[in-house]
Chains A and B, each alone.
Chain A
């Protein structure tokens, strides 16, 4: 049975927090790569990777953005690792209502790491290429996966807007914009 499940290549970034030197080049180059036109502007707040850092407590955790979620989770646990206390959010990749990370600063739309998808493909995502400390290492693993529909970017964005503003306002806004465009 097991062998029947589909397998696919999972692209991921292995993170070694002990090697992070806190330079945040990953944030900068991520924002540059995803700028339009490419590399034309820089703003770590638009990055899909963040270094959760508290220098005085020697906490440096690079986290790359995962899926959008409309609801806060119940996770308020704290972990002590090597004598340092981390809250659960430190390791969480979600763009969620309980924190500012992984949202476009202008629109509030969720950001998600796309492994720097481009044509032709890069050898590794830019954050990995720019991490000379090797805290970020690109990995491709073959894994069995559950099949599920991957929502497209527009749908994720719309869903976030609906969560924020409610159905009616989004529908009204689209209608208004559409009317303005067609001049009716």
Chain B
């Protein structure tokens, strides 16, 4: 018997209409666990690097985490993976909610979609019965509207639906996949779904998910619940409220937005407004949120309430989470009421709430700079709010300038020319980032931003505090119950870390310590992304219920796989290396690995180069960031190594010359392919 997982994937070919239930190899679970790990393995094995994101041979994989559907609290994530039309690299945005457990109960670990449907369809998975159904009547419908319509026509109020809106249908490069209270937003997954002619996947499951050692597992789960209560009553002192508790930042619960509104940038990620948060603003925004937020809500089997139901008077109800609360508000230089209003439309359209507002602010900056002209915006209203609605409506339909903007700031700038690139300034690997502009280079974040395969500077944060505490006493108090550290040395790094002076950023933590801290944070994220654990209870906050010391037992008692800290660490490294190899084979190289130029005011090119060198070496990669033959073989990725050698990306000599290639060149590997 397979434990925690079902042992079956659903393979769907939309070109031929063929659907197959395929048994999976349990050895892959032992090597990669599941979720992102096995998704990456499938993409490596089955999608050649020259594959266009918008093509029949690109795969769109909806993978559940290994522990989803078991009682392990907070394990509910769907890891959606494909090749992004925007970065042209692997995209692996994830969503919480209820879809993944429903798929497990229906009897599948993943839905693997290939091909393209000639007409718009949706997939209906009801246990063993799987249908590809016509979706012509759903064309142009909003994501939530679609979900409701599907539940009605199937007469299955309990079906969980992941769907795209108009943006996905129009292949907007930052289109999301929406699932009611959750979404997989980053990287343009919704565009690939739209390209495949797939409007939605509805699923209903009434089967069992088994666990290997129930008594042991339930005891661990009960401990986790108790610990969550303790943490709820004991927020971490000395950090801002959104970092003091568990869960993803509790944006739906808090009213105090001083920190975000004064430290993050407004407009096209340009303007710091240091005196913005006044009493009047606070009372107005509090009234707005109180008036529109009807309930704080959770994902499957999780006591945290990170999302909310939002009912704007006169508009359909929708659900929101995290920082999408402020992205539209700040990009449009407006207020919270506007933000909650436009987010309703944006959620129905299905766009990423990080990229979309920035793309629109970028367009308006180009207009202001004279690079675009009034003629490009015929009929656009004069007020900022009206302009954002106008732009959004055009982007999701790819109408006029909307067609250009729908490719995101990088590609839009390419098409517009005339210096527009200067305005697409907040990207990493062609992908818009959180509008965060800071003073002093932080070495830890430098590495995570530059080298993170997720190409996303949010929620890559981890269990090591984001900033030093002011006094030694506070630091000593913090490390006292810091059982989460994989090694005692991290306590010392933190104790010695000062806000200023010799032992402060950018030169402290030292290069070596920085690599170790990054390794710890990444390790936890890669474990979560494989198990389907929400980062909000594990890899993201300070002092979470899950950590490297208890996760091995959680995994082994649920899934019945032998697991210890070393083994789990190796799996995290293997998954991290495999995702890197996938991206390397698509052409990603060292030159692509950099944060936005203006992310920090104070930059240190020499130190940055040292950090990259040291991190690559620490990971067993060469100076281009390519995993070496030795490190690949050590992880059992021999076939990956052989492939990279055969393509001339790796030479068999450890220090051999490496050809640099820029990611997203289109025909990246054309010249170096075998034969």
Contact = CB atoms under 8 A, between A and B. Distances in A.
Interface of A: 21-25, 28-29, 32, 35, 37-46, 54-58, 60, 105, 129-130, 132-133
B532 interface: no
B313 to A, nearest CB: 12
A44 B105 contact: yes
Nearest to A18: B295
A42 B70 contact: yes
A25 B302 contact: yes
Contacts of A58: 294-295, 309, 311, 317
Interface in B304-353: 305, 309, 311, 316-319
A42 B211 contact: yes
28 contacts: A21-B297, A21-B303, A23-B302, A25-B302, A28-B71, A39-B71, A39-B215, A39-B217, A41-B211, A42-B70, A42-B210, A42-B211, A45-B105, A45-B207, A54-B157, A55-B181, A55-B297, A56-B144, A56-B148, A56-B317, A57-B317, A58-B294, A58-B311, A105-B206, A105-B207, A132-B232, A132-B303, A133-B305
Contacts of B305: 21, 133
Interface in B237-282: none
B229 interface: yes
Contacts of A133: 298, 303, 305
A55 B99 CA distance: 14
User: Which interface class (under 10, 10 to 19, 20 to 34, 35 or more) fits B?
Assistant: 35 or more
B351 to A, nearest CB: 19
A29 B71 contact: yes
B297 A22 contact: yes
Nearest to B319: A55
A55 B180 contact: yes
Given A28-B71, A133-B303, A41 B209 contact: yes
Given A39-B215, A42-B69, A56-B180, 5 more contacts: A21-B296, A21-B297, A25-B301, A43-B105, A133-B298
A119 B558 CA distance: 24
B301 A28 contact: yes
Contacts of B309: 55-56, 58
Contacts of B297: 21-22, 55
Nearest to A32: B71
B299 interface: yes
B208 A38 contact: no
A24 B96 CA distance: 13
A84 B535 CA distance: 34
Given A23-B302, A28-B71, A56-B316, A42 B208 contact: yes
A122 to B, nearest CB: 11
A42 B311 CA distance: 34
B298 A40 contact: no
B296, B303, B317 interface centre (most CB from chain A within 10 Å):
B303
Contacts of A56: 144, 148, 180, 309, 316-319
Contact of A132 (B181, B217, B229): B229
B398 interface: no
B157 A38 contact: no
Contacts of A44: 105
Interface string B82-120: 000000000000000010000001000000000000000
B517 interface: no
B300 interface: yes
A85 to B, nearest CB: 14
Top 3 A-B pairs ranked by shortest CB distance? A39-B214, A132-B303, A23-B298
A41 B210 contact: yes
A44 B218 CA distance: 16
B214 A40 contact: yes
Contacts of A39: 71, 211, 214-215, 217-218
Nearest to A24: B300
Nearest to A37: B214
A44 B215 CA distance: 19
B228 interface: yes
B225 interface: yes
A182 to B, nearest CB: 32
Nearest to B303: A132
B73 interface: yes
B209, B217, B318 interface centre (most CB from chain A within 10 Å):
B209
A37 B316 CA distance: 45
A120 to B, nearest CB: 15
Contacts of B214: 32, 35, 37-40
A45 B232 CA distance: 31
B76 to A, nearest CB: 9
A24 B316 CA distance: 24
Contacts of A22: 295, 297-298
A38 B105 contact: no
B100 to A, nearest CB: 13
B69 to A, nearest CB: 6
A40 B3 CA distance: 10
A41 B303 contact: no
Contact of B225 (A21, A35, A42, A130): A130
Nearest to A54: B157
Nearest to B306: A21
B303 A25 contact: yes
A27 B317 CA distance: 26
A62 B185 CA distance: 31
B225 A24 contact: no
Interface string B198-215: 000000001111110011
Contacts of B225: 129-130, 132
A40 B70 CA distance: 9
Contacts of B311: 58
B251 to A, nearest CB: 16
Contacts of B210: 40-42
A37 B218 CA distance: 12
Contact of A43 (B73, B148, B209): B209
A135 B128 CA distance: 34
Nearest to B211: A40
Contact of B98 (A24, A32, A60): A24
Nearest to A43: B208
Contact of B303 (A23, A40, A46, A55): A23
A85 B392 CA distance: 33
A37, A42, A105 interface centre (most CB from chain B within 10 Å):
A42
B563 to A, nearest CB: 19
A45 B156 CA distance: 14
Interface string B351-380: 000000000000000000000000000000
A153 B218 CA distance: 27
Nearest to B151: A54
Contacts of A29: 71
Contacts of B222: 129
A52 to B, nearest CB: 9
B71 A42 contact: yes
Nearest to B204: A45
Contacts of A23: 298-303
Contacts of A45: 105, 206-207
Contacts of A132: 225, 228-229, 232, 303
